Amino acid sequence: MSDDGPCFLSATDLRRHIGRKEISPLDVTRAVLARAERLQPELNCFITLCADEALAQAKSAERRIMSGDSIRILEGIPFTVKDIVNTKDVRTTFGAIPYRDNIPDHDAVAVARLRAAGAILVGKTTTPEFGTKCLTDSPLFGRTRNAWSSERSSGGSSGGAAVAVASGIAPLAVATDGGGSTRIPAACNGVVGLKQSNGVIPHSQVQDAFGNQTYVTPMTRTVADTALMMQAMAGEDASDPWSIGIPATDFIGGALPCGDLSGKKILFCLTSTGRKVSADVAAAFSASLKTLKALGAELEEMPGDGFDVEPIWRAINHTVWRTRFERLAAEHRDELSKTFLKQLALAQKVSGVDYQQAMFDRTILFRRVQSLLQSADLLVMPTISRTALPIGQDLFGTIEIDGEVFGDVRPNWFPWTIPFNMTGHPAVSIPCGFGIDGLPIGLQLVGRFRGDAELLRVCALFEAAQNSLGRWPGEAGVGLG
C-alpha cells in the first residue's frame, strides 16, 4: 500500500483492517497527517492540525489492540471537527479573530462520544465566522477551496469538513447545519452530508435548546461511514431536551443496502415555486429519479409552493445571531467581516412580533411536511440549484444559473435545505452525478421524523446503484490524488 493508501479507505474498511491487525492505527494517522500537511496550502481546509496529540492517541490505540483489549467501534480511525464545535484542550476559534486563542475545557457531547469510541482527532476544519454563511472564508484564515476545483468555493459553512473528506484527508468529519451548512458543502464536494432528525445527536452547545434549528452532524464519503458515525454520536443526553427518550437505534445494521424500494412512495419536486435550477442539475435529478424507480419506488410529483421559507428562517436565525453576537460586534467591529456585521444588522428590523410569527409559520411548515410524509415515505429534490459557486463569491452578491442572474444567494442557491432545519426532519445530500463543469451534484432525500436509519438505507441502495465511489478529485482540480 502506498503512503497515501490508507487515506483512500473508508472508515468502514479501516475498521475492518484495524480489527484484523492488517493496518496499524499509527500508520493510518501518519498518512492522514502527511496528506493534510501536503494539501493544506492548496485547499486551506484546516485552522488547526493536532499532529502530536493524534500520534499519541494512535500509539495508545495500537497498544490497546496489540494487548488484546476489546476494540472500540472507531478504534484508531481519524476524524476532524468543524471549528465551531468545542474540543477539549484544542483551540476552537469559531472562525473569528476575537476567538483565535480560545481553548475549551470540555468536548461537545458528540465529540466526546467519538473519542470514547476510539476515534482520533487530527484537526479542526475551517468555517466562516460562527458558521454564519454558505461560503467558507473568514478574516482569520482566508478562503477554503473546493476539493474539485481551485476556482470554486467549498460551499459552507462546513466547507473545511467537506473538503477534508472529499480529498481523502480523513474519512470522518464532524460538521454543523443551521440552514444547509452540512448539505450544501456535501453537494459541492461530492460527499454524504446528513442533517439528522432533531435530537438524534445531542447538541450540547446550543443556547436555545427548545427552539433549536441547528445540528451537530456527520460528514463522510459513504453512507456506511455516516451510519458508523451515527452509531457513536447518537443517544440521549441531559443537555438536549429533544434527545431525551429517543430509543437506541442500530444505525449500522439499519443502513445496510438490503432489499429494494418496493412499496416505498417518494414525492419529488425539482424546484420550489419561482426558483430555477441549472440544466445539468435537472438532468442529474431526472437520472436519479430513474434510479429510484428502478429500485422499486413509486414516484409522484409534488407541488413546489409553500417551501420558499428563507424569510421565515432569516427572521428566526438572524434574531438568534443578533442576541448572541451584538455585544461582540460592538467590541470587536474592526476584527469581524463586513458580511457578518451586515447579517447582524438585518436582524434589527425584526420585531418581537415578527419573530413570534416566524415561529408560528415554522409550526405550519412542520405540519405540512408531516402531512406529506403521512402519504409517502420520502421527499426528494436537488440539494442545491447549481454546482459550486466561484471562489470569490459574495454572500450579498448575485448568483448566476445558466446565464441568468439572480439577486439573492440563499433563496436561489439552496431553497430546499432551509425548510428541514426548521421542521427537524432528517435530510441528507448524497452525490448523484457531475455537472458540465466536472463538479459534483447532490441529491437531497428527506425522511420521516426520527426515521434516520431508514433514510440511510435508501441512500445506501441509491449509492450502490450509482456506483460512483471510485472517482476522486484529480489533476483537473487542485492536483489531488
How far is the C-alpha of 165 from the C-alpha of 452, rounded, in Å?
Answer: 21
181 is an active site residue: yes
Q: How far apart are CA 141 and CA 137, in angstroms?
A: 7
d(CA 222, CA 131): 24
State how far the Cα of 211 lies from the Cα of 241, in Å rounded to an integer: 10
CA distances from 72 to 23, 76, 227, 235, 462 (A): 15, 9, 15, 17, 29
What is the grid cell recorded at 232?
457513536
d(CA 87, CA 77): 17
Q: Which of 268, 289, 273 is nearest to 379 (CA)?
A: 268
Choosing from 82, 124, 133, 264, which is the catalytic residue?
82
- Could you give phi then psi for residue 438, rounded to 5 degrees? 80, 5
Centre a 10 Å sphere on the Cβ of residue 63 and count the other Cβ atoms it contains.
12
Candidate list 181, 197, 337, 429, residue with the active-site label: 181
Active site residue 150: no
Active site residue 290: no
User: 24, 149, 153, 157: which is the annotated catalytic residue?
Assistant: 157
- What is residue 7's three-state secondary structure? helix
Would you call 299 helix, strand, or coil by DSSP? strand
Q: CA torsion, points 445, 243, 326, 158, in degrees to nearest 10? A: -40
Q: Which residues contact 100 (CB under 8 A, 6 or more apart)?
A: 91, 93, 140
Identify the DSSP state of 5: G
Half-sphere exposure of 66 (CA within 13 A, CB side): 10
Q: How far apart are CA 395 and CA 480, in angstroms?
A: 28
Contact by Cβ (8 Å): 121, 133: no
The DSSP bridge pattern shows strands 215-220 and 172-177 to be: antiparallel
Provide the annotated active-site residues. 82, 157, 181
